[in-house]
Structure 1
Amino acid sequence: MPGISIRPSRHCHRLAAGLALATSWTFVHISVIHADSVAAQQLPVTVPSIQHWTPTGSDEPEFILGSEPRIIADAGSTEIAEHLAEDLIRAGKPISLTTGSDRPGDIVLRTGDIDDPVSESYRIAVADRLTITADSPTGIVHGTQTALQWLRQTSALPRGVAEDRPDYSERGLMLDTGREFFPVDWVKARIRDAAYLRMNLVQLHLSDSQGFRLASVMHPEITSPEHYSADDIREIVSYAQSFGIDIVPEIDMPSHMNAILAQHQDLVLRPARTTPQDAVLDSAIGGGVGGKIDLTNPAARQLISDILHEFVPLFPGHYWHLGCDEYISDYTRYPQLGDYATRTFGPGAAPGDIIIDFANWAADLVESLGKTPRVWNDGFDHPGVLTPKPELVVQYWSAGAGGLPWLPGGRTPADFTRDGHPILNAAFTPTYFTTGGPAAALNAPPELLWAWDPGLFVNGQRLPDSDRPLLRGSMLFLWCDDPAALAPEQIVAPLRARLPVMAQQLWAGTGGIGYPDFLGRASAVGWS
């Protein structure tokens, strides 16, 4: 992930001119109906806002969290209920867990069919009891976070029914712990932040130029001094699962592999000619000579196979991110790749077919281990005769083929969805926040993230209507180009300034809500 201006990449530029767009886009109204009665009967705000609220009459008794409140949970929701109780106690509202029959003033968690095809949907019926119903544990988690936000503001709620579901199926946060190591408790705190905002993915970028952050038994030589043990990963994953968060691990290959290749110099891909930029890229961000593995060497595939077989089973989630970004922008400097491609794939092959072949091979491997593979988009900008497997989920960050990410030149979002790829909008501007280096001066402010919407890609294009079901959503991406620029505790504030905006964008959109109003809502739910 380059962080200097010699060779522009997804992490070293921001589209500053995009600020001018902040006031030019229109928004779609959210279908939220609020009770219009006295202050005690107003429905408290949430972040993100709920999709639909139907009041059932202000003349009927409201829900009141009494002096001895209880949470009643079915067998599948016990851990979720424990988290809710802990959070309410921290909010100054002691509550107990119990089993058996519910009574007025109780909070009830109930797994059941709510007749909604979206697995994360939930319903909250507010009467003399507050009953949260969903047909999945994640839906129950989301319902408890809404209830928690309400009850942090008031102990009395108007009668009615909240029916809620996300607009997008993927809503997340990525942490670049490959460059800057983050302690386990810090990672868990960010997971808790994401869960409070009803997000469902946290991507861990676990390897890059500055470090390989997993303790390898098969290849201990690649493990950095600061790393996560297998028990650390189990703790992080278990904590995330208890809040409905799926951990997406990423070991970036076949570029950004400096930490892995430091002890495997025989596998480094070396150009026929070097440039002055190579040394700078090596030392700064790992994008030059030393960070790329030689895919023409059979031993390279063996090393990668060892790593994937060791670590994919450690993560029980749905996905595995293979990377596949920023391998080669100028193939003329690597004539051996062109020769290998024509020998291996035929006379019509191009050097770029090598990374497509790698991605398909690695995807087959992780699929055999029960995971859905994910990739960055830019590795597939130089195809010849091969095509990427349609099962690859594409995180689309850059439209430029080896150039500025928001300019044309590479494959468009529609090029991928036309071939059946699910896609996530990782638009370089404004979803990225970089901690240091030249890119830090170009970080998009939260106001621009508010003016954006998840259907607008970095090149200004949108998917055709027929392909929009393939758009999964987006994330807020933290990149640590300069790992010494900000300590972990200094990164929290800029992340927390942006995370609720992304959550609102992906759950219900920003229509009908002004940004100052939104900041007031965030403050009301205890977000600061």
Structure 2
Amino acid sequence: MTDPTDAEAGGLEWLALPQPTTAALTGGEWRPSSVLVATDVPEFAAEAARLERELVALGIPRGDGAVIRLRTGEPIGEAFRLTVGDHVEVVAGAPVGVFRATRQLLHNLRAQGAVPHGRVQSAPAVEERGFHLDAARKYFPADWMVDLLHALADVGINSFQWHLSENEGFRIGSDAFPEIVSAQHVTRDEARRVADAAADLHIDLVPSLDMPGHLRHALAAHPEFRLAAAGGLETDHALDIANEDAVRFAQALIDDIAPLFPRSTSWNLGGDEFVDFARIHEYPALVTAARERYGADATGFDLLTAFVNRISAHLRSRGFDPRVWNDGMLRSSAVELDRETVLTWWTNWHAEMRPLADAIASAHGLVNFNDSLFYYVLGEKAGYEYPTSERIWGADWHPGLFPSLPGGVVQEIPAPYPAQLIGVAFSVWSDAEEAQTPQEVAAGIRRPLRAMAERAWNGGSSVTHDAFCTIDVQIGLYA
């Protein structure tokens, strides 16, 4: 890959994130005093109107000084072609492709008041570039989330996983179970507004309602659904997955929240940290139920996998593709995890967790959450350090580089990436909710998140870390 920021004959550089896949710059510049955004493609009309508003916000009024023409053409999905001369031509096959192309124009205009002449083309290396927000342990206002969505979309993030429930809180309004809702929460009307903003910005909103673990707050109001005591091991956070009424309670939680997300395509049901997995054989209720249902050699992992399969089927009946965290999966013997369930692969910190190779062999879709580089854990709890762009570049991270196995054994899917590798994600976890304000979180994640966005779109990056940091500063914040 050539360095697309290189300019010909001393002309401007291409200052945008993520960098385009290829660029051929010719040395001139497009510096409009007024702009007309034109299209004869009805599906592109909303993007044309959006771009005109954004240009006005940059001080470039509507007028006939220059033309940006939006055309339909060969690129599909998010891919686009952009030709800049006296006028600008955007060619894309879908509105989202137009949106990605026009971000490139806006970045250059924000950075240097002009766009270099030339021709650029771009297409993402992986389908999904995501962001996860733990808004369950910590309250994040809806207005802040809408602002965040604009910042995410500005650099090509196209998935927002909204973590709604945790041991410490349930922070979205509930019609069916108002008794479990935290005092500080996003109302149902506010949730709809967040969902509308995500859809407008071409971001798929992924609800994350963790079960059968991470339910302490909800189960405090419904102790009848808790897993039975197990000799001092913690169970107050865990659903009794052998209890049919408890399973129906879990399904009812989903049914109550699902109508708020009518355009969402995926749902993360959790499945992680249900119990102490290294001691799962010490939970009598799980051992007994597993053996009764699946045979003398069955374990709690079989019971967990069966629960995940059942909730996955329920989600599909509501129009969602199910996702689940990896740490407790692929560890059953009598029950096979539904092949269509996507694994959100965050860690391999324990030797008994299954390696990535098992997931690849079983053909499960994968989203790379790589906790060693992309976990922004408030208060730097559990041994995590805040992510930095320096570490991301130092690791030469690309979408196929997953967290290592114990002992530092590298787990990697080389490019060109198979369809099985759906994408990647950056995560904020609110373990110490008082450690940072929402504004401090937004400031802290900016550069490492943009580093992931650049390298996720391009399967790495052709620019140096110093050049990336320079571009980051020059394009500034979305306004």
Matched, 1:72 2:22: no
Q: Alignment partner of 1:336: what SS?
A: helix
Aligned to 1:447: 390
5+ residue gaps, structure 2: 405-409
**Following the alignment from structure 2 to structure 1, what is the Cα–Cα distance between the partners of residues 199 and 274?**
33
TM-score by length of 2: 0.92
- Aligned-pair CA distance for 1:37: 2.3
Aligned to 2:331: 382
Q: Alignment partner of 1:289: what SS?
A: coil
Is 2:3–2:463's contact at 8 Å kept on the other side of the alignment?
A: no
**Following the alignment from structure 2 to structure 1, what is the Cα–Cα distance between the partners of residues 5 and 136?**
44
Matched, 1:344 2:293: yes
Is 1:269–1:292's contact at 8 Å kept on the other side of the alignment?
A: yes
Is 2:14–2:116's contact at 8 Å kept on the other side of the alignment?
A: no
Matched, 1:113 2:113: no
- Aligned-pair CA distance for 1:158: 4.1
1:228 to 186, 189, 197: 186
User: After the TM superposition, which residues 25-40 of structure 1 pair with which residues of structure 2 at under 5 Å, given as runs?
Assistant: 29-30=1-2, 32=4, 34-39=6-11
Identify if the C-alpha distance between structure 1 residues 232 and 325 changes in structure 2 by more than 3 Å, giving closer, same or farther: same
Is 1:214–1:227's contact at 8 Å kept on the other side of the alignment?
A: yes
Matched, 1:480 2:430: yes
Q: Alignment partner of 2:401: what SS?
A: coil
Identify if the C-alpha distance between structure 1 residues 437 and 273 changes in structure 2 by more than 3 Å, giving closer, same or farther: farther
Matched, 1:418 2:418: no
Report Cα offsets for 1:462-520 as digits up to 9, x if no partner.
Answer: 13779843112211100010111211112111111211101011011444422122110
Matched, 1:180 2:150: no
1:202 to 142, 146, 160: 160
Higher strand share: 2
Is 1:30–1:508's contact at 8 Å kept on the other side of the alignment?
A: no
**Following the alignment from structure 1 to structure 2, what is the Cα–Cα distance between the partners of residues 171 and 467?**
14
User: After the TM superposition, which residues 10-89 of structure 1 pair with which residues of structure 2 at under 5 Å, given as runs?
Assistant: 29-30=1-2, 32=4, 34-39=6-11, 42-55=12-25, 63-65=30-32, 67-73=33-39, 74-89=41-56
Aligned to 1:133: 91
Aligned to 2:246: 300
**Following the alignment from structure 1 to structure 2, what is the Cα–Cα distance between the partners of residues 472 and 30?**
25
* Paired residue type of 1:449: I
Identify if the C-alpha distance between structure 1 residues 464 and 199 changes in structure 2 by more than 3 Å, giving closer, same or farther: closer
Identify if the C-alpha distance between structure 1 residues 251 and 326 changes in structure 2 by more than 3 Å, giving closer, same or farther: same
- Aligned-pair CA distance for 1:409: 2.2
Identify if the C-alpha distance between structure 1 residues 439 and 341 changes in structure 2 by more than 3 Å, giving closer, same or farther: closer
1:436 to 365, 369, 379: 379
Q: Alignment partner of 1:491: what SS?
A: helix
TM-score by length of 1: 0.83
* Paired residue type of 1:222: I
Aligned to 1:355: 304
- Aligned-pair CA distance for 1:221: 1.5
Matched, 1:457 2:407: no
Q: Alignment partner of 1:374: what SS?
A: strand
5+ residue gaps, structure 1: 1-28, 97-102, 276-287, 400-404
* Paired residue type of 1:435: L
Matched, 1:469 2:419: yes
Is 1:104–1:129's contact at 8 Å kept on the other side of the alignment?
A: no
* Paired residue type of 1:269: L
* Paired residue type of 1:345: Y
Is 1:80–1:242's contact at 8 Å kept on the other side of the alignment?
A: no
**Following the alignment from structure 1 to structure 2, what is the Cα–Cα distance between the partners of residues 304 and 145?**
41
Is 2:80–2:92's contact at 8 Å kept on the other side of the alignment?
A: yes
**Following the alignment from structure 1 to structure 2, what is the Cα–Cα distance between the partners of residues 211 and 506?**
32
Identify if the C-alpha distance between structure 1 residues 497 and 64 changes in structure 2 by more than 3 Å, giving closer, same or farther: closer
Aligned to 2:226: 268
Q: Alignment partner of 1:424: what SS?
A: strand
Report Cα offsets for 1:192-240 as digits up to 9, x if no partner.
Answer: 1111101111111111012112211122222222222222122111111
Identify if the C-alpha distance between structure 1 residues 435 and 371 changes in structure 2 by more than 3 Å, giving closer, same or farther: same
Q: Alignment partner of 1:430: what SS?
A: helix
- Aligned-pair CA distance for 1:33: 7.5
Is 1:123–1:162's contact at 8 Å kept on the other side of the alignment?
A: yes
Aligned to 1:515: 465
**Following the alignment from structure 2 to structure 1, what is the Cα–Cα distance between the partners of residues 256 and 403?**
35
2:272 to 325, 336, 339: 325
Question: What number of residue pairs does the alignment pair up?
Answer: 467
Aligned to 1:504: 454
* Paired residue type of 2:34: E
**Following the alignment from structure 2 to structure 1, what is the Cα–Cα distance between the partners of residues 150 and 183?**
27
**Following the alignment from structure 2 to structure 1, what is the Cα–Cα distance between the partners of residues 384 and 175?**
40
**Following the alignment from structure 1 to structure 2, what is the Cα–Cα distance between the partners of residues 366 and 320?**
7
**Following the alignment from structure 1 to structure 2, what is the Cα–Cα distance between the partners of residues 191 and 228?**
16
Report Cα offsets for 1:401-442 as digits up to 9, x if no partner.
Answer: xxxx1x532111121121111101111101101112634763
Identify if the C-alpha distance between structure 1 residues 467 and 498 changes in structure 2 by more than 3 Å, giving closer, same or farther: closer
**Following the alignment from structure 1 to structure 2, what is the Cα–Cα distance between the partners of residues 33 and 145?**
16
- Aligned-pair CA distance for 1:46: 1.0
* Paired residue type of 2:269: L
Identify if the C-alpha distance between structure 1 residues 527 and 218 changes in structure 2 by more than 3 Å, giving closer, same or farther: closer
**Following the alignment from structure 1 to structure 2, what is the Cα–Cα distance between the partners of residues 441 and 139?**
36
Q: Higher relative contact order by CA 8 Å / sep ≥ 6: 1 or 2?
A: 1
Q: Alignment partner of 1:192: what SS?
A: helix
Is 1:120–1:136's contact at 8 Å kept on the other side of the alignment?
A: yes
Is 1:175–1:477's contact at 8 Å kept on the other side of the alignment?
A: yes
2:342 to 380, 390, 393: 393
* Paired residue type of 2:42: A
480-489 or 226-235, larger mean C-alpha shift: 226-235
- Aligned-pair CA distance for 1:161: 1.9
- Aligned-pair CA distance for 1:249: 0.7
Identify if the C-alpha distance between structure 1 residues 53 and 225 changes in structure 2 by more than 3 Å, giving closer, same or farther: same
* Paired residue type of 2:120: A
**Following the alignment from structure 1 to structure 2, what is the Cα–Cα distance between the partners of residues 437 and 125?**
45
